[in-house]
């Protein structure tokens, strides 16, 4: 035997019927906080600001990579004694 029950209710009515908490005030607060943060940080999303941040990161990363390669080369020279091993 198969029984189908269709219930028409709003999400608020379903939560109340199932005993779930009303999260609408918390949701409204979180959405408001996210909107405030986005409004405060919209300046950093300007193309000029993004390029300035990315270009400074690129120079730093390039310098770090160069130092890494220098230290690797120096370590290999030190491990082989730095002389011709014939």
Q: Exposed, middle or buried: residue 45 (CB in 10 Å: 0-12, 13-18, 19+)?
A: exposed
Q: How far is residue 48 CA from its own chain's centroid?
A: 21
Q: What is the mean pLDDT of residues 71-76?
A: 86
Q: Give the span between the Cα atoms of 74 and 82, in whole angstroms.
A: 9
pLDDT at residue 82 tops 60: no
Q: Give the span between the Cα atoms of 76 and 79, in whole angstroms.
A: 5
Tens of pLDDT, residue by residue over 9-63, are: 998 899 899 999 988 899 999 999 999 988 887 776 777 777 777 676 666 777 8
């Amino acid at each position: 035997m198969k029984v189908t029950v269709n219930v028409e209710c709003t999400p608020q009515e379903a939560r109340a019927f199932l005993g779930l908490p009303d999260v609408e005030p918390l949701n409204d607060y979180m959405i408001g906080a996210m909107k405030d943060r986005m409004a405060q940080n919209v300046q950093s999303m300007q193309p000029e600001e993004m390029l300035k941040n990315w270009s400074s990161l690129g120079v730093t990363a390039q310098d770090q990579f160069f130092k890494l390669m220098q230290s690797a080369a120096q370590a290999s020279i030190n491990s082989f004694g730095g002389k011709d091993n014939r």
